[in-house]
Amino acid sequence: MNSQLQRQGSATAVQGTGYTSDQGSPRLRRVTSSRSDQNGPQFNWRPASAAQEDAGQEAAVPPKDLRALPMPMALKRAISQVQQMQVPVLSSFQSWKRSKAKSLSRARKSIGGFLHYITLWRRSLNKIGGNFGDGVQSYFLFLRFLVVLNFLSSMLIIGFVLIPSIVFRSVASDSVNMTDNGTAECRQYDHKPDPLVRYFSYFLDLLSGTGFMEYTYLFYGYYRNTMVAESDFSYNIPLAYLFTAVFYFAFCLICITARAGTAVRVAVATGGGATGSYSRIVFTGWDFGCLSDRATKLKQKNLHYQLQVDLEEERIKNEAASLTLRRKVLLYSSRILLSLVAFGLIIAAFYGIYQATTFSQRKVKETGVLGLFYEYLPSIVITVGNFVVPVLCDQIALLERYNPSITVIVALLRSVFLRMVSLGVLLFTLWSQITCFEGVSEECALCHYNHKSYPCWETRVGQEMYKLTLFDLLITLAMLVLVEFPRRMVVDNSSNKLIQFVGRQEFLVPVNVLGLVYGQTVVWTGALFCPLLPLINTLKFVIVFYAKKITLFSNCRPAAKTFRSTKSKVFFLLVLLFGWSLALVALIYSIAEIHPSMSCGPFHSLVSMWAIVPDSFYSLSLTTQGFLYFIGSQRFSIPLFLFFSVVMCYFIALASVYGKSVDLLKAQLKLEARDKQFLVKQIEELSRTLGVAK
């Protein structure tokens, strides 16, 4: 606030001098005279001498952002010319600071220009926003964020794991330090594909990641525990593998929080907005980005509908306040009953997934198309469940008679829960098969995991996630070709009343976002076992972007309900964070708890994946070890903890002080308004009595 005032002040000061010094320019004079009657910024046309006195003090203030002044170009130019003339007044330090600021802004501008070129899909996004509103645009922005995130993280993995693996595979041999805890039986792993296969089974292998795909850089099993140690250079593939996975998770968390931070700040700072809803619709409702007549008409219809409903609702709300007790009881009991039904549906879906996974893992030995079907059974059941249950839940939500905004949230929360936890059930089933429930059965007693069914279990988990990712993409494309296009054709070419009533499909933002979050969670879960999954996912999301864009423009009608993008952004990221934490649990469990397979992979000689960290720790030099011990010790951690506590206390105190002053100012504002009203009333009364007296 303060700096703004200062800026305003300096603007007026400079304005004064600018006007006098530039009086020769006829263009300028014309423009200012034609402008002065506007309700634009009110300038204080002080005499030039006073302004010049100010200039000395103002010089300390850095040049303000001319772009933010609501004035025509000619005036802004005049101000900037005056600014340039003021420069000699500055001391050398200030001029240095100013020139530095200038070159910095120039650098920023050139970076901005560069970003302008590389920003992905800028024009497409503009077009989408213009035709379908910013709710739909927010989905595509989210998709773009995920594409960039996946691309960067796949670069990370390629740079630190894949390229070193390829390079060192030819240079160095495995560092064979097999311990005795694994028997020969555990180390059996037959990954050689059958040389005499029919050609279509290549296609099947491509879809399920088996056969020729299995023993490649795609999956965990192909990586070796290579260690390269020269005199001044050493690279440890297992360590790099582990740390890259951990850093990948941290990187994703940082990206999500950074993005959520801005969204939350906007949502919190504006208070979510319970008050002033009519003014808000009227003053900010118009979307100036509308590009076509159709979009404009639609937006107008939306706004009309919104205003009418709000006015209607206000009337109804007053009536609803007087609902009888009996009807209230009836309503609440029906709500409880229906949410139990919805919960039952979700549980049934989980049970189905559990059964399907167990069944498909038992039928691993099947080959051909039937084998493929069994391979894909869990993915199919998950997808079917995710299609059917949310539709039923939506119907149930309609019966529950919540008000519209709550209905959307309830339906959304149910489908988030279903999507994420169904993935969790799949993982749980896989894990319990691999470890035979803590290794009590004889199959697991030998190698600490089920080595008969899963000679290289990490690859199997990787394949499972690979299949889920691929299946998700195939479903999206199949829906596009088999459902969405035919539906549009039928709707466009038929005059049947019923079909016209059903109409073209709407683009439902929440459902589509959930699909993305689900895909991303699968990738996070599988990234440890299938290091190239982020790269595959980047490609997948790029394809999804174009597929969704095509279906949006050719098959969809704009949604009847508007979708506020600000709050939903936070919600999307929260759901994404939920998926991230689910994947994190899987990651920690598989790194710390399960015995890595003894027949394959970079960790095959270790008790757990994490064991590589202590091992390599002890191979460090003594000074480094001492230093790391010191960091881990209480002598270091307690002062650090205290320091952070103090900093946190400071910020909490600061926040509470700000909160208090905001409350105070609000109260003051209200009082001022009341004062004003009181004075106006006084004036009215006074003038009335004066009029009477007259």
Partner 1 sequence: MGATASHLGKDLLSEYQELTFLTKQEILLAHKRFTELLSREDKNLPDPRAPTEAILTLPELKSNPFRERIVRVFSTSESRDGLTFEDFLDLLSAFSDSATLEIKSHYAFRIFDFDDDGTLDENDLEKLVNCLTGETDETRLTPDEMKQLISNILEESDIDKDGTVNLSEFQHVISRSPDFVSSFKIVL
Q: Partners of 605 in the beta sheet? A: none
Cα(224)–Cα(603) distance, integer angstroms: 8
Our finding on whether 295 is near partner 1 (CB under 8 A) is yes
Q: Which of 435, 550, 439 is nearest to 488 (CA)?
A: 550
* Min separation Cβ 76 and partner 1, Å: 5
Residue 514 neighbours by CB distance under 10 Å: 22
Q: Which of 146, 227, 200 is nearest to 543 (CA)?
A: 146
Q: Which of 293, 495, 497, 692 binds partner 1 (CB under 8 A)?
A: 293
* Min separation Cβ 365 and partner 1, Å: 55
By beta-carbon proximity to partner 1, the closer residue of 131 and 551 is 131
* Min separation Cβ 404 and partner 1, Å: 18
- Tokens read off for 108: 């920023």
Our finding on whether 100 is near partner 1 (CB under 8 A) is no
- Tokens read off for 170: 């030819």
Q: Which of 24, 47, 88, 113 binds partner 1 (CB under 8 A)?
A: 113
Residues 539-568 that bind partner 1 (CB under 8 A): 564-566
Q: Which of 266, 341, 478, 664 binds partner 1 (CB under 8 A)?
A: 266
Which string of x and - marks every residue 663-692 that binds partner 1 (by CB under 8 A)?
A: ------x---x--xx--x------------
- Tokens read off for 578: 């939920």
Residues 565-594 that bind partner 1 (CB under 8 A): 565-566
* Min separation Cβ 28 and partner 1, Å: 10
Our finding on whether 300 is near partner 1 (CB under 8 A) is yes
Q: Are 157 and 532 in contact (CB under 8 A)?
A: yes
| One-letter amino acid of 179 | T
By beta-carbon proximity to partner 1, the closer residue of 434 and 509 is 509
By beta-carbon proximity to partner 1, the closer residue of 199 and 283 is 283
Which string of x and - marks every residue 134-163 that binds partner 1 (by CB under 8 A)?
A: x-----------------------------
Our finding on whether 190 is near partner 1 (CB under 8 A) is no
For the four alpha carbons of 474, 478, 484 and 485, in that order, the dihedral sign comes to positive
- Tokens read off for 569: 């952004």
Our finding on whether 124 is near partner 1 (CB under 8 A) is no
Q: Are 574 and 260 in contact (CB under 8 A)?
A: yes
Cα(418)–Cα(414) distance, integer angstroms: 6
Rg of the Cα trace of the chain? 33
Q: Which of 311, 399, 647, 654 binds partner 1 (CB under 8 A)?
A: 311
Which string of x and - marks every residue 358-397 that binds partner 1 (by CB under 8 A)?
A: ----------------------------------------
Total chain residues near partner 1 (CB under 8 A):
67
| One-letter amino acid of 28 | L
Residues 63-92 that bind partner 1 (CB under 8 A): 66-70, 72-74, 76-77, 80
Could you tell me which residues come within 8 angstroms of residue 105 by beta carbon, excluding any fewer than 6 positions away? Answer: none
Our finding on whether 288 is near partner 1 (CB under 8 A) is yes
Q: How remote is the C-alpha of 322 from its chain's centroid?
A: 43
Q: Are 71 and 13 in contact (CB under 8 A)?
A: no
By beta-carbon proximity to partner 1, the closer residue of 47 and 70 is 70
Our finding on whether 36 is near partner 1 (CB under 8 A) is no
By beta-carbon proximity to partner 1, the closer residue of 117 and 618 is 117
Q: Which of 271, 264, 165 is nearest to 218 (CA)?
A: 165
* Min separation Cβ 303 and partner 1, Å: 5
Residue 613 neighbours by CB distance under 10 Å: 14
Cα(320)–Cα(107) distance, integer angstroms: 61
368 conformational bin, left if phi > 0, alpha if psi -120 to 50, beta if neither: left
By beta-carbon proximity to partner 1, the closer residue of 648 and 680 is 680
Cα(449)–Cα(459) distance, integer angstroms: 14
Interface contacts to partner 1, rule CB under 8 A: 27, 31, 34-35, 38-40, 66-70, 72-74, 76-77, 80, 109, 112-113, 116-117, 126, 134, 266-267, 269-271, 273, 275-280, 282-293, 295-297, 300-301, 303-304, 307-308, 311, 564-566, 669, 673, 676-677, 680
